[in-house]
Amino acid sequence: MDHELERTLVALEEIASGERKLRAVRHPLGFLCLPLLREDPRGICVHLFEAGDRAEPGASPLHAHSWELRSRVLYGRVANLPVRVHAPGDGEGGATHRVFEVHSGSDGVDEIRPTPLLVRSELGPARVTSRGETYALAAGEFHATALEGPEPAATLVHGLSVPGQVDLSLGPVDGRARRTTRRLCDTELTVRSVHAVLRRIHAEQRAA
């Protein structure tokens, strides 16, 4: 077992046993987030994807982080969809999206503010990443991430903030400012979810 996975398993075991107090966060895009480390400029978390997950109404899956991302799939399969964004040119039919800035507060509220920037977006071919594989994204790179197939998946995400960058999303051309909330899960759901993660990781290791 490599050191990165070993450290992750130790952290998850501490949460499962109650030794470490941590509550999962329900992200507006539908997945659960376990924030293992928040230490500017670095962050480490585990993202949990289930087939029944649903994003909040109006939440755009097309977004760009203000931080560099490295994501390792712990189990399951995850599809990352690149999005090319450019100013609309002559004969292209105009803009498809407005760029929004996302400002996240410590209270879990995200302020999503429209900018004057109108763009056209083009979806690239999805890159599917499976257990043990890693993908990386630069800060400011638009993309969408989704579960691939019916089986659950989990990713270990490392983030490194980049000075001067802002979290962005693509929304309707006529979209207005709005708010979304990253809701804290209760301890029971958090512990139950972590136990499920550990069972799946150990099952993958036994099958390898």
Rounded Cα distance, 131 and 151, in Å? 12
Q: What are phi and psi of 84, to 5 degrees?
A: -90, 130
Query: What does the pLDDT average to over 104-126?
Result: 92
pLDDT band at 1 (very low <50, low <70, confident <90, very high): low
| Full 3-state SS string of the chain | CCHHHHHHHHHHHHHHHCCCCCCCEECCCCCEEEEEEEECCEEEEEEEECCCCCCCCCCCCCEECCEEEEEEEEECEEEEEEEEEECCCCCCCCCCEEEEEEEECCCCEEEEEEEEEEEEEEECCCEEEECCCEEEECCCCCEEEEECCCCCEEEEEEEEECCCCCEEEEECCCCCCEEEECEECCHHHHHHHHHHHHHHHHHHHHHC
Residue pointed to by tokens 């503010």: 113
Residue 26 confidence (pLDDT) above 80: yes
Q: Are 131 and 204 in contact (CB under 8 A)?
A: yes
Confidence at residue 90, expressed as pLDDT on a 0 to 100 scale: 63
The answer for 173, left when phi > 0, alpha when psi is -120 to 50, beta otherwise, is alpha
Percent of the chain with pLDDT over 90: 79
7-11 mean pLDDT: 94
Res. 91: pLDDT tops 80 = no
Q: Residues 52-71: pLDDT tens digits?
A: 888 888 889 999 999 999 99
Cα 189 to its chain centre, rounded Å, is 19
pLDDT for 200: 95
Cβ burial 154-188 (10 Å sphere, 16+ → b, else e) = bbbbbbeeeeeebbbbbbeeebeeeebebeebeee
Q: What is the rounded distance in angstroms from the CA atom of residue 145 to the CA atom of residue 187?
A: 26
